[in-house]
Structure 1
Amino acid sequence: MGAKRQDDVWDPLFDNKTDRIRAREVPRTPQTEAPAYRLAFADDDFMCREDLRPVRLQLELLKPEMLLSERGIKSTVVMFGGARIPEPGKDAWAAKNETQRKNLTAASKYYAEAKKFAQLCSRHSTETYNREFVVVTGGGPGVMEAGNWGAAEESAPSIGLNIILPHEQAPNEYVSPELCFNFHYFAVRKMHFLMRAKAITVFPGGFGTMDEMFESLTLIQTGRMERVPFILFGTDFWHKVVDFQELADFGTISPEDLDLISFVETADEAWQIIADHYEL
């Protein structure tokens, strides 16, 4: 029997789905129940074998890329930042002691600025039919939630790049469902953060935020990606936790590498840097 055709056009998706159903409808025998009989692409045990890691990496790269391309999304604004920063007026749920509670509660101002910044980006994005400057976050709570929420308030789509972690990380409710992705590999997730990035913003955060910040800076510093506005929210925070000037004074980075970074306090300042860079 030939491939399924609709108006003489081959439909591989129809055939693949149909074959999966047919493979489950055969008589149950020792042969059909054996793992070897399963269709390779429908065999979870086979797909999760260590030898198949290159295939899984490729799939994680392909799936979001294909769906983003189908939506016509050409560029993004990346929002990195801490999952533990609470919404203003809400409990600092991640605090382990009073010092942390005080610090995280004070840091809720960055939640508000993240939300406002996402609104500013999304207003411009809607003028491009949601193709340019689309907000992308890690899809979780804290600063990420604020970013997706700000976009939603402007009726604009936003992207969430979630990842499976030992502790629960469910997507926040403001990510556009059709642009809510889930990853196993950190490396592929990082690629998707930066492949379309026209600006990178970093709010106060922990190890994950630091990792994302320094990897992105390294790619720009070494010319592996285009130089884009790289904006850190919270001057005092960043100068306390990272002595960028000392790195330059010591000689482990060049003095001009400091020019890659802009420090801001507000959403308006951050958007102005982006607008000036691209002459919007």
Structure 2
Amino acid sequence: MNKRNQLTARNFPSAKEEAKALAQSPPSGDYDSPQSAYRLAFTDTDFLLREDMRPIRMQLELLKPELVQNELGIKATIVMFGSARIPSDETARAALAQAKLGGDEALIKRAEVQLSMSRYYEEARRFAHIVTKASMERTNPIYVVTGGGPGIMEAGNRGAYEAGGKSIGLNIVLPHEQRPNPYITPELCFQFHYFALRKMHFLMRSVALVCFPGGFGTLDELFETMTLIQTGKCRRRPILMFGREFWTRLINFELLIETGMISPGDEELFHFVESAEEAWELLAREYELSQAGST
């Protein structure tokens, strides 16, 4: 070692070095058995998974995505929420053709509904492509972030991938396993156990929320964001809801105002949009993204 480098050299081996050394030369006899407590605490999975260690696991789940994104210089994201059940146009057309071959009217009807909803997959895909392409050369690019699964989530990651950019996927462990879609940037594909921490990471760097039709999970994510903004717990940011007809049939916002459940003006927390271009134009105006020299 260069003598000058010794001025800043570590005085102790790193945890990684210690763990690697022990793995190469494990203890013998009873001390290498599953019952042994000899393992380093941070390499002992059984210990980390104990009920008493939940606060530590929650902290790790907060820190891992935060540190990785910091290291990669990610400062701004656009979050895309929506149903995992909305297929691509190609998949929906194939399903309808298959249903027609079977002649089951109920299946045909469901397939026709899925085909009509597939337009949202294509709009999400185009929107993510526009966002990624428009911001790739910026000093601080805007990254698309999704829940990492199929449907609208896949469409978002796919659009960014097809634009040649990176995107983030925040997967969650579910009873019916949700695998990450194939379009997420591998170093930005995270897996969560805790819903609360996952939702926190959705918002930590977000400059906008773009919400497509969805079910309970989408509504949960949408209303938590609205509540945080309404109560001043986080800064105001654009919330774009794709498909006025869907959302106004699902949620009677006028009734909420009429009955005093929300205040007049709370309906201005969000905007309805119908196309990828309309959504991007609104965001570009909000943040003056078309101005030369913008960062």
TM-score, normalization by structure 2: 0.87
Match of 1:43 in 2: 44
**Cα RMSD (Å):** 2.1
- C-alpha distance in 1, partners of 2:161/2:268? 33
Match of 2:90 in 1: 89
Q: Deviations over 1:251-280 (max 9, x none)?
A: 111111000110011011111111111122
- C-alpha distance in 2, partners of 1:263/1:11? 58
Match of 1:9 in 2: 9
Match of 2:262 in 1: 253
Shift of the 11–145 alpha-carbon distance from structure 1 to 2, 3 Å rule, reads farther
Q: Which moved more, 1:77-86 or 1:238-247?
A: 238-247
1:57-76 correspondence runs (5 A): 57-76=58-77
2:181 alignment partner, SS class = coil
Match of 2:137 in 1: 127
| Structure 2 residue 118 is matched with structure 1 residue 108 | yes
Residue number among 182, 202, 208 corresponding to 2:217 in the alignment: 208
Q: Which moved more, 1:238-247 or 1:24-33?
A: 24-33
Partner amino acid for 1:75?
Answer: A
Shift of the 188–7 alpha-carbon distance from structure 1 to 2, 3 Å rule, reads same
User: Taking every aligned residue pair, what percent have the same amino acid on both sides?
Assistant: 51
Partner amino acid for 1:220?
Answer: I
| Structure 2 residue 276 is matched with structure 1 residue 275 | no
1:135 alignment partner, SS class = strand
Conserved? CA contact 1:78–1:199, under 8 Å: yes
2:136 alignment partner, SS class = helix
For structure 1, the 5+ residue unaligned runs are none
Partner amino acid for 2:241?
Answer: L
2:92 alignment partner, SS class = coil
Shift of the 72–217 alpha-carbon distance from structure 1 to 2, 3 Å rule, reads same
Partner amino acid for 1:17?
Answer: K
Q: Deviations over 1:127-170 (max 9, x none)?
A: 215x3321000111111111111111111110000111111211
Partner amino acid for 2:114?
Answer: L
Match of 1:143 in 2: 152
Conserved? CA contact 2:58–2:197, under 8 Å: yes
Q: Which moved more, 1:78-87 or 1:25-34?
A: 25-34
1:89 alignment partner, SS class = helix
Residue number among 200, 209, 230 corresponding to 1:221 in the alignment: 230
For structure 2, the 5+ residue unaligned runs are 100-105, 290-295
